[in-house]
Structure 1
């Protein structure tokens, strides 16, 4: 997979290193000569250019990329880069870094952003996930904001605690994708059981989140939005 990363600062380089390690072809773009540190990651391509300029993106061959990541420290730049990559070059997948929470509402398909990543939101989600039992926490919103990755730590009072996984009929199109038990992640086994204290990860349509929360924890269940999208449910994550 060919991935272009606009912004070769600490965040961009860290992402690039991870993706190079997984065998992907990486191009890093930055307009600041001090950010071009090709010796730190010689496996990647490096380009000194302004990714907000159409000519720079043409030079970089953005139309050959599968994913574009706008990872600069400037939200305005990240929005422009995402929009150009999506509308002018038809990049299939764009990811935008949100630096300031107040700008999160802009990072959507209107600006060409398929997935937005907000560090403040993500940190809030991790804190919430660690301390909240009985609340459904939205961790991530997928393409166009229709589906989400959600988590709940199953309370002892849950009606499904002790029940067989395969006997559950989850609301809508909700899919149980993983169970974290005693610090270890496992795939759901239809013959296995759900236990109090399990961290359950679901992929579900956002319209089904509250119903899923009610199934898992009728009296305590509440949906908290700790995703990278604009809050739509009961309690926002921040």
Structure 2
């Protein structure tokens, strides 16, 4: 285990400190932004909208006491979305979509000796292949989480108002009640950390794939599993440190 962790940090060192010339990365970063960010918009829209709607309906279902004001529904949807649902759940979903693709692509390049060819040409393959993915993730993941947070709150609003469990005024009042702006900062900090973990762990698993097509699939599975575990551990650590 310690050897694997050490190998991972050596991998990060090659990516961060032995980079190629900056102009080489510009087009690659733009391509990765499209591949990682724009291609993930649809799944983020669907998941975040229904997460907000379900949270609102289930919160209303559990408000059995008439002494609890209904605007609490909006307050709970807002806080759970900002603190956990948008950054953490969306990152786990992206770990499955983006992480498996990254590991699969790099694994395929490894077994077809494309990475070896880059090394023969004197190119730092870790930096050339992985660094654009990390930068693209750091740029696009926060935007996806911001969109997810907005759509989750909107989904809760539509579900609550259309089903009659809460009025528009009560929901908006709940959104404004005791709002803590720092929660947005916390959500974005978590997203940046999660995006770095997803891309580097998935790249690490794919880059060191050995064997054939079966091992590429195994690397993709391991990348998703390891990324999800890392996200949950980092989620707890960041909550302890920042809250």
TM-score, length of structure 1 as denominator length: 0.20
Greater RCO (Cα-Cα under 8 Å, separation 6 or more):
2
More helix by share: 2
TM-score, length of structure 2 as denominator length: 0.20
